[in-house]
Structure 1
């Protein structure tokens, strides 16, 4: 059950969540129904030392600098991830990566061009912060700041902080005047003084420009990544096709796979685990973006025909290690599965990438889904899987035979024909004559 916090309240995250690591922090706000104001509100985050100062400018995360130097905190970019954080904007946090010198991670909201638009947070009904465990999407705590603000244009919403070797969370709700610039300088960020529309760049590369750049939509970001993946795969495609045609041995197949994982799909060497074993089950590969085991891969020699039974080695490993996704591949064909362990270990086909058919938009998008870019954005793969579930025959049959749907069919038939039939008669006819069940 989520903790509902008052201003100033805190709790031990370490005690509440064993071995806490990955979280979403969502920031949200509404506009008053009677207000026609268009608010441009941004989330920002500061990684602070015990002196309540950033160590350098890389400890300031905002729209022009979307993550810190070690990727311990990052501004969420995808609509799906923001939705998971339960806010209009939000941050991902990996507590294990936060440097030891950092004692506070403060999450803030600011109004862009507030002075020019004569806006403040008093014009909003409330602001909220939600702390969500990233793996299970369970809300841990929530804080709502209501009708307690006046002329403030920047708000410290909440913070994660270290105390006696624990991670704790505190609801703050403290306001500042003069927006993001004043807030950043208060925490020791060195800002550039270039005018907003100037084409000059600061001589000191350690200075940050807080003039707002045009934001890319999630669709633009995905399109850019697809173009990048497509270009890199095209360079390897002749070698992949040749390897499949010539039936290279297993060792040579692995070498080509290693190049695909690194050069095309964007995984680093330490994120590609080989010959993993657990409880007698073995996996050829486990992809572990940011150190989290995410996809199990069963790799067959190039050109070997793929059969569904071959995926069971990978899915058995996945079941015992808590991994949800598995791939069966022979270089040219990549079968992607969801691993279910509800009643038994069972692989459910999600999609297939067939490189023999080239790099059309569908193949390229599916490559993006299994790339590091796609995997760390959990919502992208989940959306494809949910669509597959929605369109499965059993799902459609259950929907068609739903009492409400049957009733509507009966009403439509009666209106068009003038005949009188019962729901049971409609249902039996659909089962026997239409669905053949």
Structure 2
């Protein structure tokens, strides 16, 4: 995970970039002028070295990607730039996905100098992509939180494999992935125990599986709790640590 210092440093650089470029006089820039802004974003903000690590007009099967970012001979990003006047669209993304797929590049940054969108290329059949996040640097609400995410696009994070780890966490927590774990035998046993405790009745595995399926496939109005619930009323027991000076709390499930 990126450190707080990394996030703080990036935030300061983004503020400088915002102060310099998010002005009314730049709202009508064409694509070539917008690229000058993006040059600053990639070098001054994200920390990549021009020419050595940022390849411009990179040729891929007879077409040209605006930028490809390469570190230690590995290509990490296709960066597609559109005029700041234009809203980013699926059409722009499709073009970038083709570039990335043909070159075996995992990530796409789509930007108009103001909006920044990150996509993961999914090398499946057919080739697909997944939006990870998008931010508008000119938007005050976006600006407050974007550093915690854009930090993964920086050279330091890529070198430390933090972007790859970010994707692993992101994918693991995707509802479609996480929901598969709800059918696990341990979850079924736990729910049978909860229902037995609440109703004093026994429920079959098929009963539980049917209800879990309905939970996954049916929209249910519900509020997210601030902390996990203690459904089974587990007890807490103090346990000495190895140095006998502190205590750890261990949850003990009832027999």
TM-score by length of 2: 0.76
Number of residue equivalences: 216
CA offset digits 1:35-91 (Å, max 9, x no partner): xxxxxxxxxxxxxxxxxxxxxxxxxxxxxxxxxxxxxxxxxxxxx8xxxxxxxxxxx
Structure 1: segments with no counterpart, 5+ residues: 1-79, 81-218
1:321 to 103, 111, 116: 103
Alignment-derived partner of residue 295 in structure 1: 77
Alignment-derived partner of residue 86 in structure 1: none
Q: How does 1:23-422 map to 2 (within 5 A)?
A: 222-242=3-23, 246-270=27-51, 271-358=53-140, 359-360=143-144, 362-378=145-161, 380-422=162-204
1:403 to 1:278, Cα distance in 2 relative to 1, 3 A = same
User: How far apart, CA to CA, are the structure 1 residues paired with 2:183 and 2:63?
Assistant: 41
Task: Tell me which structure has the larger Cα radius of gyration.
Answer: 1
User: How far apart, CA to CA, are the structure 2 residues paired with 1:230 and 1:418?
Assistant: 55
Q: Are 1:282 and 1:313, in contact at CA under 8 Å, matched by a contact in 2?
A: no
CA offset digits 1:344-388 (Å, max 9, x no partner): 21111222233123443x41132221111111111x112221221
CA RMSD of aligned residues (A): 2.3
TM-score by length of 1: 0.46
CA offset digits 1:133-155 (Å, max 9, x no partner): xxxxxxxxxxxxxxxxxxxxxxx
1:402 to 1:310, Cα distance in 2 relative to 1, 3 A = farther
Q: Are 2:30 and 2:85, in contact at CA under 8 Å, matched by a contact in 1?
A: no
Alignment-derived partner of residue 111 in structure 1: none
Q: Are 1:286 and 1:297, in contact at CA under 8 Å, matched by a contact in 2?
A: yes
Per-residue deviation, 1:305: 1.6
Q: Which runs of 4+ in 1 moved over 4 A?
A: none
CA offset digits 1:180-202 (Å, max 9, x no partner): xxxxxxxxxxxxxxxxxxxxxxx
1:277 to 1:434, Cα distance in 2 relative to 1, 3 A = closer
SS at match of 1:231: helix
Per-residue deviation, 1:243: 6.1
Q: Are 1:282 and 1:314, in contact at CA under 8 Å, matched by a contact in 2?
A: no
Structure with bigger strand share is 1
Per-residue deviation, 1:244: 8.8
User: How far apart, CA to CA, are the structure 2 residues paired with 1:255 and 1:432?
Assistant: 52
Q: Are 1:277 and 1:317, in contact at CA under 8 Å, matched by a contact in 2?
A: no
Structure 2: segments with no counterpart, 5+ residues: 220-255
Alignment-derived partner of residue 210 in structure 2: 428
Structure with bigger helix share is 2
SS at match of 2:65: strand
